[in-house]
Structures are given as C-alpha cells and as structure tokens.
Structure 1
Amino acid sequence: MTTPKIIPARNWGQRAVALLLIIIVALLVSLVATSRHIIWSAIPQYIFDETILDGIKLTILFTVLSMVISIIAGAILAMMRLSPNPVLSAFASLYIWFFRGTPLLVQIIFWFNIQLFIPSIDIGSFHVDTNSIITAFIAALLALSLNEAAYMAEIIRGGLMAVDSGQHEAAKALGYTPGQAMLRIIFPQALRVIIPPIGNQTISMLKTTSLVSIVAAQDLLTRAQNIYARNFLIIELLIVASIWYLVMTTIASAIQFIVEQRLGKSTNQTPGFVTNALRLMRAEGRNG
C-alpha cells in the first residue's frame, strides 16, 4: 500500500498580496529613480565628503558615549529600583517616570537652553559661565545619556528579575554578601537577557542621534544640512545621510548577532557556578 502524497494547499490570497507588494515597490522605485528633480550624480560626490565623514565620527562618538553612560547609570538605577530602601526605590521610579514620559527632543532643547535660568555656576569663589560648560555637544550628550538611562534601568531590572530566585538563596548559602552576589552571580547570569535589548537600543541610538541636529551639534545630519543649505541639494544630501545611517546600523546589527550567538553558546554549554556549588554541598552533606 503506497503512502498518499501530501500536496500543500495553495494560498492564492498570500500570493496575490505578495504580487501586489512587488508591484507597489517597483512603482515607487521607478518613480524615485526616474525623477528629474534628483541629481543622482551628486550622491557619489558627497558620500565620502570630508564634512560628511566628520559628521559620521561624531555620530558614532555620541552613540558610544551615551550608551556607556546610560548603561552605567541604568545599572545603578535598576539596583536602586530593586532596593528595599523606599527612598532609593522612589527616586529611581521617579527618574524613570520623568525621563521616559517627556520627549527626547524637548530634553535636548532644555539642556541647550539651561543658561536661561542658570546663567552661571557659583560655588564660593569659583565662578563659571554656564554657556562655557554646557556646549551644544555637552547638551546633546546629557540629553541622550540621561534619557537612555531610564530605558536601560528597566532593561537591566528585567534581566535581574529574570534570574531564578534560587540563585540569590544559593549565593547567600555560600556566604556571599548582597553586593558580591549581585556582581559575581546574579549580574553575569542576567547578561543573556540584558544583551539583546541593549543591542537594539544601541542600534536605535545611532538613529536617535540625528535629533541633536536641532541644536547644531555637528553630527551626520547636521553636516548634511549645512551642505544643502549652501548648494540646495536637499534630497541628494538626505539620501547620502540615509545611506550612512543604513551602513552603521547594518554593521551594529551584525555585531549584535555575533555577540548573541557567542553568548547563547556560552550559556548553553556551561551550567551556573552557584548551581554546581549547591549540588556539591548537597552531595557532601549526604555523604557525611
């Protein structure tokens, strides 16, 4: 007796939608490519323009610095949020509520104009003009870092809470202090939960830095705007900026994928140190 051949059902609805999408995309590409109002020859000319490359460097610098600062601040805020001390927990909750509840663009403009209500910093005989400290670069960096710290705090807190509660008890049984348990046991295990969203936030930050152009912080978008303000090649320069943003986010996505793959292998191959220690202690107890 022969086994009947299974023929998958043809989903004509999906095929029709796919065909419609192909037609729409093809029409949009054709519409843009054949536009007489875009000087395509100008795009290669500005791809490696020195001004554009300087803007890319500053965009990467903004991304790296703001992510480093926000991760450190976010870790502190996450531990404060989880603290049994009501003052620390309330402060962290208030910080997260405020910075996640107000638009980043507003925060950038606020820091850039802080000299309007704090014109100078006076501490005893020390006097300094606020404008000399809070430059466009510092204002943008403060806004990006402090805003991102609120999101990092929730990401890290979620990662810490994902660690099995038995790990806390095991660390305590092994004589670890709460600080030692957090740094040596809990936090390393939470990394496998924390790393993926941090990677996503870093990729998002690469694009979010474009908001600092509102205060002329000389990032990639600001440099592109400066050029098209002189030659009026608005669409062409925006395409150049978009190409570089795509390149940077693609590289960042590839790095994130590699890190996640290696992290996944390491967590799958090596069991937790505390779990092993507890097993050993239990075995010794039974043998004794």
Structure 2
Amino acid sequence: MRSLRLGKRKPSKDSPVTAVISPSSPGSVGPVNRPGDDDLLAAPVVGARHPWQWVGTGVVLVLTAMLVHTLVTNDRFQWDVVGNYFTSSSVLNGLWLTLWLTAATMIVGFALGVLLAAMRLSSSPVLSSISFGYVWLIRSVPPLVQLLFWFQLASLFPQLSIGVPFGPSFVTFDTATLITGVVAAFIALTLDVAAFSAEIVRGGLLSVDEGQTEAAQSLGLSRSRIFWRIVLPQAMPAIVPSTGNLLIGLLKATSIVSVIAVEDLLYSTQLIYQQNYLVIPLLLVATVWYIILTTILSIGQYFVERHYNRGRRRQQPSSFAQTFRDNLPLFGTFQRRTAGGEA
C-alpha cells in the first residue's frame, strides 16, 4: 500500500493531496478494510444495560401491589356501599349536569379563544390590546374567585337592563333571578376556558410557517379563507394535545361549582353523605366516575391526535393499547430489553 503524506506547512495549489490507495481496488480512494473488520461488522449488537430501570420498575410494582392490597383488604372503604350508590338517580343526575357543563363551557369557551387568538395576532393595535388585556385579567384571577363573583353579581348590580347607553332602558331583569348558580358557573368557566384556549390557539398558529400565508395571499385568497382553510388545519397538530389537557382539566374543575350549591357530581354525593355520614364511600363514587370520564376523554384525545398527525414524519403508535403499553415502565423496559437482545 502506497501512502502520500503532507507536511506541516499549508499546502499550495500544486501541493499533492494525501490519499490512501488500496491495492485491492486500483485507482480507488477511500478507507482500507483491515483484517478483522468483517468480523466486527458481523458481531451482534448488544443493547446498553440499564439496571436502574429495573430497580424503578420493581419499586413501582411493589407500590402498586401495596395499593391494591390496601384497597381490597381495608373494610373501611366499604365497596358494597360504593356499588349501591354508584348508579343512584341523584348521582346520575349530578353526572349529567357535570357533562353538560363541561361540554357547553368547552364549546363556547374554545370558540371565544379562537376569536381572541385571531385578535391577538391581528395587525390592529386595538384588537391586539383588548385580547392581551382579557387574557391577562382572566388568567390572573382564580376560577373559584370568578365563580363567586358572578354568583354574587346581584350585590353589585341588583338589576340588569337592556337599552340605550346613558339613556332609557327597554328591558330590565332581576339579577338574582337571572344569574342562577348554573348560569354563574357557565359564565365563570367559559371565560376561564376562553383565556387559556386563546393562548393555546395562538401558539399553534405561530407554529405554522409564514410562507403558507404568503403563498395563499399570492393566490388571491381572502384572510378568513386563509385562516380557516390553510393556517388553522396545519396548526391543529400543535393545538389538539393542549386542548385535550384543557378539556380534562375543565371536567375536574367543574367540581368547584359545589361551593355555590350547584348539584353536579361532587355536590350530589355530598348531599348523600351529609345524611348517612358515609363520607369515604360517597367520595369514592365521585372519584371512580371522574376516573372513567377522564379515561374516555384521554382515549378520544388519542384518536383525534392520530387523525391530525397523519402524514407527519414522527411515527405514531398503531393503536391506543400500544400507547398504553409504551407508557408503562414494566412493558417499556421489557420491550427495550427484548429489542436490544434480538438486534
């Protein structure tokens, strides 16, 4: 094998270039296969060992076994009482109100959030300032405080009127009659959802490349058509995960309406255990229902995400069961271990 080497000085245009020529392939320039390289390439690939993953998995399994043992053997949970009240009429009525309140506030609040996001990204300083001020104010006040404020609105405005500003009134309403507990809950939760969904939508819209808008404008499309048909569909993969989390959080946040005696799922169970003093079993009834509902919403979120992620480079799990297995420490560690051994 013949080798040409350069010195330390900087090579000129006429200086020779270092090269390695293999006798086995005359005229070719490139790396040389040394003896034993083929054996190294043919050797099996062994995955890296992660002993702490197995330790963590063992700890999780032990804690899970302890939890299950406690739930089964502790008679104070009174699972028979939980089963008796799980589908009682009062609990199901409260469940229905919780579902209605969640759906109504999410639909209206998210629609307002899209409008606020469009205002925030608008070139108009007035619209942008209004959107910014609204989001800042609502996100600064806890939802429970907003709920109590709207429920006590009659203390500030005994009557609400519709008419000419600073002029005569056409219709007058009694505030205490108009703003009931359910209405106050709807207003407070809707305004809160609108503020947070506005930031979610704004972040999703900013993730879309500006070239998409410029290309649509060059085709003569209107702004509304560009937004609804070009920008928003491309922003959905970034919007859906956060919106799903917001919806699940809203479902659980509806429990605060029990403070103003709105008979949702939690307040319905409270009314029962205030009569029979079975606090823990009735709280477990509400807990199990919340777990079921959030699980259903999580499954729905998975399918919506998979729909909007079609055609993207990032590989998506083929099924919800696969996603569930991948997120369990035991199955995840076992699969990585098996894959490393088979490779």
Shared fold (TM-score, shorter chain, > 0.5): yes
Look up the match of 2:7.
none
Q: Give the aligned residue type for 1:134.
A: I
Which residue of 131, 135, 158 corresponds with 1:92?
131
Look up the match of 1:35.
74
Structure 1 stretches of 4+ with a deviation exceeding 4 A read 1-10
What is the alpha-carbon root mean square deviation over aligned residues? 2.0
Aligned ranges 1:81-160 → 2 under 5 Å: 81-123=120-162, 124-160=169-205
CA distance in 2, matches of 1:14, 1:100: 39
User: In structure 2, do the counterparts of structure 1 residues 96 and 12 end up closer, same or farther at CA, with 3 Å as the change threshold?
Assistant: same
CA distance in 1, matches of 2:210, 2:100: 38
Q: CA deviation at 1:240?
A: 0.9
The structure with higher relative contact order (CA 8 Å, sep 6+) is 1
Q: Give the aligned residue type for 2:108.
A: I
User: In structure 2, do the counterparts of structure 1 residues 141 and 25 end up closer, same or farther at CA, with 3 Å as the change threshold?
Assistant: same
- What's the CA shift string for 1:69-124, capped at 9, x where partnerless? 11110011001111111111111111111111211111111111111111111341
Q: CA deviation at 1:181?
A: 1.7
Look up the match of 2:109.
70
User: In structure 2, do the counterparts of structure 1 residues 85 and 239 end up closer, same or farther at CA, with 3 Å as the change threshold?
Assistant: same
TM-score for the superposition, normalised by structure 2: 0.73
CA distance in 1, matches of 2:279, 2:310: 47
Query: What 5-or-longer segments of structure 2 have no aligned partner?
Result: 1-38, 163-168, 314-343
TM-score for the superposition, normalised by structure 1: 0.86
- What's the CA shift string for 1:116-163, capped at 9, x where partnerless? 111111341522110111100010111111001011101111111111
Query: What 5-or-longer segments of structure 1 have no aligned partner?
Result: 269-288
Q: Give the aligned residue type for 1:99.
A: I
2:55 equivalent to 1:16: yes
2:92 equivalent to 1:47: no
* Contact 1:167-1:185 within 8 A present in 2 as well: yes
* Contact 1:207-1:245 within 8 A present in 2 as well: yes
Look up the match of 1:189.
234
Aligned ranges 1:213-228 → 2 under 5 Å: 213-228=258-273
| Equivalent pairs, count | 268
Look up the match of 1:207.
252
Question: Could you say which structure has the larger radius of gyration?
Answer: 2
* Contact 1:43-1:239 within 8 A present in 2 as well: yes
Q: CA deviation at 1:19?
A: 2.3
Q: Give the aligned residue type for 1:223.
A: S
- What's the CA shift string for 1:219-263, capped at 9, x where partnerless? 111111111111111110111111111111111111111122122
Look up the match of 1:251.
296
Look up the match of 1:278.
none
Look up the match of 2:207.
162
SS at 1:77 equivalent: helix
SS at 1:128 equivalent: strand
User: In structure 2, do the counterparts of structure 1 residues 125 and 84 end up closer, same or farther at CA, with 3 Å as the change threshold?
Assistant: closer
CA distance in 2, matches of 1:24, 1:252: 27
Look up the match of 2:34.
none
- What's the CA shift string for 1:47-71, capped at 9, x where partnerless? 1111111111111101110011111
CA distance in 2, matches of 1:76, 1:16: 50
More helix by share: 1
SS at 1:265 equivalent: coil
* Contact 1:192-1:267 within 8 A present in 2 as well: no
SS at 1:41 equivalent: helix
Look up the match of 2:329.
none
